[in-house]
Amino acid sequence: MSLPGLTRQSIFLDRLSFLMDAQVKPTHDEEHRMPMIDADGCLLNVSVEGRDGGPTLMLSNSLGCGLQMWEPQMAALTQLFRVVRYDRRGHGKSSVPSGPYSIERFGRDVLAILDDLNIKKVHWCGLSMGGMVGQWLGANAPDRFDRIILSNTACYYPDPTNWLNRIKAVKQGGIASVADAVIGNWLTADFREREPQIAANMKAMLIASPVQGYLACCEALSTLDQRELLPKIKSPTLVIAGRHDVSTPVAAGEFIRSQIPGASLTILDAAHISNVEQSHAFTDAVVGFLTQR
């Protein structure tokens, strides 16, 4: 589905700039719109927008991103769905409890949000780490999820070295010390040159992440292995991969698709944060999958 007259990149640029400023001075309206939900003592920042009475879609962020990463999709998605976004524990405006964290813990946080909002069942769209949480949820809470989208994600890291190196670098130099390398994985060089302000805003969002929360998430990912969960996912599932994604390559998406019964795969001409780099194609893929009969 395409929305005529909307330039989603410009919408993203304007709204992301606003939200980056709002992290410093949040408005009363924004605070009223975003309830804090308690998940076993961790306060989670949650946003609910969109179509009252419509089907509910929950969006889940990448590591190092806040809920504002989904701005390119919001204009379209809120016309069709009630959209729930949240900051994962250790990120954004949510609390930063001491570790260790785990994918199961992240999944139970999601269920706490749904319970608090009295939502029985949702569609799920998670990117990167959000896709990993979606795998756990699809296998362990199947009655709470209708259709599932797993984007730019993996189910298994055979070698933890890259994560351990990143943890060491962040402990020594903060997130800023790895930011350029991370952004280089998130967005292709061509996109960064074409849209330098969007790239700069994404980098600012990354650097603003609480260090302790970021480290605890990295530690959880260093031992990721959810291969045995995939065949247990019975929901209709779409896997999205980025052709230029070196963080979670197409092969990782192809493996996930092959292990989930009936899953399909869409490949976008993007690096890791495909919903930003190919916002039109990503939104069309999501809407098409979620509204098909």
Task: Supply the pTM of this predicted model.
Answer: 0.90
Question: What is the C-alpha separation between 115 and 240, in angstroms, rounded?
Answer: 28
Rounded average pLDDT over 171-181:
98
43 in helix, strand or coil? strand
In this predicted structure, the answer to whether residue 1 has a pLDDT above a threshold of 70 is no
Q: What confidence category does residue 52 fall into, taking pLDDT thresholds of 50, 70 and 90? A: confident
Residue 200 is predicted with a pLDDT of 98
In this predicted structure, the answer to whether residue 173 has a pLDDT above a threshold of 70 is yes
Q: What's 67's DSSP letter?
A: G
Alpha-helical (H) ranges within 81-195 are: 103-116, 129-140, 161-173, 176-186, 189-194
Q: Is 16 buried (19+), middle (13-18) or exposed (0-12) by CB count in 10 A?
A: buried
Q: Is 211 buried (19+), middle (13-18) or exposed (0-12) by CB count in 10 A?
A: middle
pLDDT in tens, 72-117: 999 999 999 999 999 999 999 999 999 999 999 999 999 999 999 9
Q: What confidence category does residue 2 fall into, taking pLDDT thresholds of 50, 70 and 90? A: very low
In this predicted structure, the answer to whether residue 53 has a pLDDT above a threshold of 90 is no
pLDDT in tens, 189-231: 999 999 999 999 999 999 999 999 999 999 999 999 999 999 9
In this predicted structure, the answer to whether residue 35 has a pLDDT above a threshold of 80 is no
Sign of CA pseudo-dihedral 291, 140, 241, 175: positive
Question: What is the C-alpha separation between 33 and 254, in angstroms, rounded?
Answer: 38
In this predicted structure, the answer to whether residue 25 has a pLDDT above a threshold of 60 is no
pLDDT in tens, 237-256: 999 999 999 999 999 999 99
User: Residue holding tokens 């949040």?
Assistant: 26
